[in-house]
Amino acid sequence: MSFRPSQIRQRLAEGSAAHGLAIRVKDDAVFEFAAMLGFDALWLDLEHHCVSVETAAAHIRAARAGGLADVIARPGNGEFARAARLLEAGARGIMYPRCESAAEAAELVGWTRFPPQGHRGLDGVSPDNPFGLTPAPDYLRRANEEILLIVQIESPNALCNIDEIAATPGIDFLMLGPGDFAASIGVPGQMNHPEVVAAHDKVRDAARRAGRRWAVTCFDLDHARRMREQGADLLFHGSDWRILSRAMQALVAEVRAIQ
């Protein structure tokens, strides 16, 4: 069995955008089902959610069984060893939150890419390998080629360092974290606040200057279209929980109207 390639990178090679969904429901079946539906990326958040590495590994396995979607795992800030273990479990990418400097971005690269690009340790029988069936030289080369590292900018300080962060070798995507950025400047929940919009533009422009791609969280389809027109290559369209919430609220309103 050969090394599993990245679906996101395949979309980019075709000149298309990649589309993803955050999965909040802690059930392997949801990950498997979402992959079956054809999403390119599934966002697995371990910063905010009470998910162990073992549970995350089961979610990743289910997604890989369901389809071609890349699991993009998000550890907590500074959890570099955890990020490496998530890759061993089969996550195709890491979304790193609250990056503040180029030095921090470089440390992420070091932990998650094999030599000569980094110093990630080699486990020869991990699901990522898969289980030793890919010869080590081929595995290291393919893993370095296919991994996706997304660095999130979530504070004014990080925004000041954006060009240095973007220039870090091994970083693939820049991404504004609009929720945390809005909170950090005293306007929590105001995703369309002028300062948040300006921060997004700075992240986008820094990515362009550095020859990086950029990712975005989309609020609705009109927003997604605008972001794609601006050059976003990886678009996340909310979460399964948000979809469930809207559908159930609509159903409650409809059934209450039945007299």
Q: Indicate which residues carry an active-site annotation.
A: 48
Helix (H, G, I), strand (E, B) or coil at 194: helix
Helix (H, G, I), strand (E, B) or coil at 124: coil
- Two tokens at 258? 């039945």
Give the C-alpha separation, 213 to 198, whole Å: 18
E strands within the chain?
A: 18-22, 41-45, 70-74, 93-96, 148-153, 173-176, 213-217, 234-239
Contact at 8 Å (CB) between 204 and 227?
no
Element (H, E) at 37: helix 28-37
Contact at 8 Å (CB) between 46 and 86?
yes
Reference 150, options 54, 58, 18; nearest CA is 18
Contact at 8 Å (CB) between 233 and 41?
no
Burial of 68 (0-12, 13-18, 19+ CB in 10 A): middle
